[in-house]
Copies of this chain bind each other. A is one copy, B any other.
Amino acid sequence: MGAIRFSLFYEHQLPRPWDHGEEARLYQDALDQIEIADRIGFDYVWEVEHHFLEEYSHSSAPEVFLAAASQRTKRIRLGHGIVQLPPEVNHPARVAERIATLDLVSGGRVDFGTGESSSSAELGGFGVRRTAKRAEWQDAIDAITRMFVEEPFAGWDSRHVQMPPRNVVPKPVQKPHPPLWVACSRRETIEFAARNGIGALSFSFVEPEDAGRWVQEYYRIIESDECVPAGFAVNPNVCVVLPMMLHEDEATAIDRGIDGAHFFGFALAHYYGTTPHDPGRTSVWDEFQEHRAARGFDRDQIIANAEALNVNIGSLRGAVGTPEQVVDLIRRYEAVGVDQVSFVVQAGPNRHEHICEALELFGEQVLPRFAEGREEREAAKAARLAPAIEAALARRAPARELPAGYRIDEEAETARARRRRRPRVTPASVRAELRAAGRRRVQQGFYRLVHGRSDAQVERRFGARAQRVFFGGMARAFDPAVAGGFEGDLEFRLTRGDGPATVWTIRIRDGRARAREGGAGAPALTLTAATADFLRVLAGDANPASLLMDGRLRLRGDIELAPRISEMFGGPSPY
């Protein structure tokens, strides 16, 4: 039995139409909501850092917003997450400075969430290469945590960051530094979090039972010698994020919260998929209204009293329901060892007064049910993990001592930075970039193929040549790093309204994928769907979980493989 903590999660969503006058209201309302959350006993408030994601997130300077929140609250922890660590977005020293300053003004209440960003709007906007961002994250978090503990910071000279020795001030209140987290969107990144000894903030909207498997794997790694902490402390925690709205009457909760939950999911797919976006002009809200049903966010499929919450991840109902339903859902996450549930209540068109009512109700009827014995269970967990954490910290390269006598030397330092700033181009880096570019071109091709067309039109366009281009491109886009050692045949059976099914096989062997027409002898997984449905899924224009529920997508064989197929072939992922 775990011990569970609760948080609010803010994106500052603002569906169109607007003329920016609404932003002041949005921010002031959020501050009022957080004041309530602090009073009733929420443990954390998280705020994202996103850039240029109009409507989906107007939260581009969370360091400012959370600092304001620090003076309106007394106890609630301030989750600054996720901070985008690629140095093109935020210089590592600026990140260390703002985290430390927020820790100072809040009296040591900061949690430091990290990530790489993953939308084209952000990566293209700041010129961050998708193929480099994971390495940039790893590099930056090492530098930043050293800035917190080294005095002076002994300098940095990596491919991504060059900085001479400096004493980075101020230092955080919490020693050695605020708890670290990383944003995760799939099993691999949760394992990655564990290997780095930091908390996993999961945005996968998984069902409790799936989350349980991830939690087990997470803690197995934390306690193994695979864990080499990225910071100078280990933060063993798994948090799952869910949309939420609460009311005594279930139908009212759905009415008040489901559009927000669905807009959240739709807009996330909009920015993290390959949907075209025309800055300042595309209305995500209008697109949502038009396409929500097709993408698995049909308002009419959400029916009161139908079933337990969040068994149907495709519909993204999350924790929209009555206090009893939400308590039941949280108990299931608690039972599998999830440490924190984070609720997105401010989402889409959700109204401030409904959000405030839901929070008050949560404080009265949900929070008290989880408080009893929590400190004791957390202390027991800490005691159990203590030896493993001590062993893990011994594996981390220690803080450095700069020999005395280093003198600041502007000319030499600037010249050095200038030399290193030229990007290194190697045959491997060129190949990796070509592969990444190829993947996105294939996806964009799908999108153009299916968007705004009828099923019959899509089928007609998907002739022999298009199939070769498509499956060939898919094989070329294969990323062995995500496949996790899988070898075998994936069989695709694409039915048509007016004729025989198209059958293709992708064979994965020795870290490479090859496509050929025809069925497989002993496929590891067979995937059957209408041609148009299948292509819409790959284009991000339809939701696979929703099609599975409707029986329009059928799987045979090792169905655990299914959710990873999209990623293996370069599908979108929010972090």
User: Hey, which bits of chain A sit against chain B, CB under 8 A?
Assistant: 12, 20, 23-24, 27-28, 31, 51-52, 54, 58, 60-61, 63-68, 70-72, 88-91, 93-94, 97-98, 100-102, 104-105, 107-108, 120-121, 123-130, 151-153, 162-171, 173, 276-281, 402, 404-414, 416-418, 421-423, 436-437, 440-441
Contacts and interface: CB of A to CB of B under 8 A. Distances in A.
Given A71-B68, A410-B124, A104 B23 contact: yes
Given A104-B24, A414-B123, A98 B63 contact: yes
A51 B93 contact: yes
A170 B60 contact: yes
Given A97-B51, A101-B61, A124 B164 contact: yes
A138 B423 CA distance: 26
Contact of A409 (B27, B61, B101, B124): B124
Given A63-B63, A173-B24, A278-B406, A125 B93 contact: yes
Most chain B beta-carbon neighbours within 10 Å: one of A97, A98, A163, A277: A97
B65 A413 contact: no
A440 B422 CA distance: 25
Contacts of A170: 12, 20, 23, 27, 58, 60
Nearest to A53: B169
Nearest to A84: B94
Most chain B beta-carbon neighbours within 10 Å: one of A52, A100, A407: A52
Contacts of A416: 127
A412 B433 CA distance: 11
A169 B279 contact: no
Contact of A278 (B105, B124, B404): B404
B408 A124 contact: yes
Contacts of A104: 23-24, 27
Contact of A64 (B63, B129, B413, B414): B63
A147 B347 CA distance: 25
B60 A91 contact: no
A421 B127 contact: yes
28 contacts: A23-B104, A23-B171, A24-B104, A24-B108, A27-B104, A27-B105, A27-B170, A28-B107, A51-B166, A52-B168, A58-B170, A60-B97, A60-B168, A61-B97, A61-B98, A64-B101, A64-B105, A65-B105, A70-B71, A93-B125, A120-B408, A126-B163, A127-B162, A127-B163, A129-B418, A277-B408, A279-B402, A279-B408
